[in-house]
Structure 1
């Protein structure tokens, strides 16, 4: 799920919501008819769109595992691997490696989401051989030199220290702890001030050995390259990787049952409120109905009920949103807003009232029709570049959707009935919410409820 879709230190909740929604929207229909299931001579599979509109090639790929594979006492391991994998490989040190990338305008990066270790590669078509070779080197012979690891580690630790005074970061971390407890999803993917210093170079190399393997590899490529040439490049890049990953099994988990509330005192002018609860898994029959009705509640930007009630009607916040997020082993809905400290209680009440109203009554037929029309029509504005389309095609693979899903998606949206939407709304919001309040929240809004919530951890 931007895994996802991605709940990392580098992606605030609002960005995650936008990513998830963007990945759900299909590409223009002209691209949907050209998606190929490519199999290289060596058996490497990819979803591929050949497009010579511009002389560019974009590739997105992912290995199963992600931050959920971090040991409990070394959270942030996958994140540190991602930040250091391009710091020198083969016969190139970090400086020489990045000079090669810069000289050819090659964009190469890695990231870790909850369930996947992901990579991105973008280049001009004339530089494709060098770009794929540099990627191969990073995947198979990354140096992880101590001087580079310590430099990146210090940057991560500096960011983690800043997070201890960030209301949004504190709220996001506490929400995950509240929702998932001791499950790997309850740990922050970027790690903590306690865990990151304990990660060794041996840990980084062992993570690559366990995770970076062909059996979990998914690839999407869009751009100006023919299938035969791409097949050879994929074999050269990924063919020498281990055949099978050595992943620790991750159990399925349902987010904690609402209602619960936690309060973190922080002397900041603005109070941040993060709210959510159990979601609907991606392959649940009610998923699309939940997706549509959530657009009406809080995912539709300026047209959503929460925006109307909290921002326009009461002037309590500048923005408010909520999103459905799904992982391989769970699903949640999560929302966020910020308000003045003296209006935090009023804001929470307004959100709670609107969520309860949606759970009890569901949307109107007009709201449903307008949401479906928007979700179908907005597809032409989504995934309009090679990189966006490659990201979208990769996400569909990670979600285990068929290669023709882009063609079917609008029909699935259209099939959602008012009864379907009402049932999904009751399921999502009928039990209330998990709520985290960070800031100078009024006593009446936070302290009584916080007394029944789990003990708050020390800030990382």
Structure 2
């Protein structure tokens, strides 16, 4: 796949894939304005800022913005994770000028209307109160806090009641100016336009963004120095268990050995070791999984499962024993062959629409991965050896310093 890359005069990175199969343009604009840019006192600000940008801009209210896109059949969206805030647009090429005009108003001239902020605070706080009763939400929040401590990855993405209440219009304006800088923007354009059209569109996007300094990198993650187990009471009949360790960054040299190895350990669904040991042999769970989430800094390696309260300690022991055996003794040639076949066979399916391709190209752009990442993916998977997997898991996971959170453990 040919991905073209250049920078605008403002310093925005542009990634372009020309494809005239359908008369459609997909675009996304991403910023290092994710939840890890919050502080303890401002938890939730990144998400509220991104969401509020689409609820009033350049004098248009929320309904005006929604209708302007709907009238021309355009789809507008947004997302936020710890690293990144992003906006997306899908439009017929024939309507692209109108669609991009509205899209740029949202990016360039957010109004952050005070009345809408008050309404959104009420909605978000109701959601936080509901989440505080749900074992899965409790487990996720406690796990990230326990794993990352004072690092911003440990902050609750949605915020806390008191930090949401404290958000002001000025705080959102300041956050926007600092983190939505043209110098740090990643613009992705895919579809039915020429390169010169892509350059014109990208220049319009970049020129209207805050011309503030490039956003600094996040602090490095400190590795845990001891094991940490938290048991949180909950009336649910099932115990929710999460355990893990800081894993990998995007672009990490160990990524492919860890990715393929984890497919065998717990990423491959019913063909994984964890499923075999915890579900098939012992019937302790319906599902158990493991994954690495690569991020700007070390994202989590996480194992998750649910089981009956009275079986929680047994299930956790089986998981730990399976993990220890995997790290100590490695994998078989048969397991490696099957994993490679499943991963490489399924990879083209992930690239069967422009929207999916856009997601991958946006990832390549934001994390500064090689432009050949998608073309090289299967080749990199096939190069992985059993020895590399064993070596990577041994170096990267200190099993004696794992974090475990059990919500609803039996007394």
TM-score tier, shorter chain, comes to over 0.9
Q: CA deviation at 1:430?
A: 4.7
Name the residue aligned to 1:419.
Answer: 387
Q: 1:300 to 1:281 in 2, by over 3 A?
A: same
The answer to whether residue 259 in structure 2 is matched with residue 291 in structure 1 is yes
* Deviation for aligned residue 1:248: 5.8
Aligned to 2:405: 436
Is the aligned partner of 1:408 residue 2:365?
no
1:358 matched to 2:334? The reply is no
**Paired position in structure 2 for 1:457:** none
3-state SS in 1 of match to 2:297: coil
Distance in 1 (alpha carbons) for counterparts of 2:21 and 2:326: 45
Count of equivalent residues:
410
Contact 2:77-2:88 within 8 A present in 1 as well: yes
Q: Is the 8 A contact 1:47 1:219 kept in 2?
A: yes
2:203 corresponds in structure 1 to: 235
Contact 1:258 1:431 in 2 (8 A): no
Q: Secondary structure at the match of 2:150?
A: coil
Matches within 5 A, 1:155-174: 155-174=123-142
2:311 is paired with a residue whose SS is helix
Q: Provide structure 2 residue ranges, at least 5 long, that are not aligned to the other structure.
A: none
Kept in 2: contact 1:101–1:107 (CA 8 A): yes
Residue in structure 1 matching 2:190, options 222, 225, 236: 222
Residue 382 (structure 1) aligned to one of 350, 354, 357 = 350
Q: Secondary structure at the match of 2:121?
A: helix
Name the structure 2 match of 1:322. 290
Q: 2:392, 2:39 → 1: CA distance?
A: 36
Q: Does the residue aligned with 1:233 lie in a helix, a strand or coil?
A: helix
Partner residue of 1:71? 39
SS at match of 2:399: coil
Aligned to 1:9: none
- Give the TM-score normalised by structure 1: 0.85
C-alpha displacement of 1:436? 0.4
Q: What's the CA shift string for 1:352-388, capped at 9, x where partnerless?
A: 1111110110111111121122222211111211111
Aligned CA RMSD, in angstroms, stands at 1.9
Q: After superposition, where does 1:109-188 map in structure 2 within 5 Å?
A: 109-188=77-156
Match of 2:277 in 1: 309
After TM superposition, list the pairs within 5 Å mapping 1:248-259 onto structure 2: 250-257=218-225, 259=227
C-alpha displacement of 1:429: 4.1
Deviation at 1:111, TM superposition (A): 2.5
**Normalized against structure 2, the TM-score is what?**
0.94
- Correspondent of 2:308 among 331, 340, 354: 340
Give yes or no for contact 1:58–1:222 (8 Å, CA) kept in 2.
Answer: yes
Q: Please give the alpha-carbon distance, in whole angstroms, between the structure 2 residues aligned to 1:45 and 1:265.
A: 47
Q: For the Cα contact (< 8 Å) 1:75–1:191, is it kept in 2?
A: yes
SS in 2 for 1:108: strand
Match of 1:23 in 2: none
Aligned equivalent of 2:24, options 56, 65, 70: 56
Gaps of 5+ in 1: 1-31, 444-460
Confirm or deny: 8 A CA contact 1:76 1:195 kept in the other structure: yes
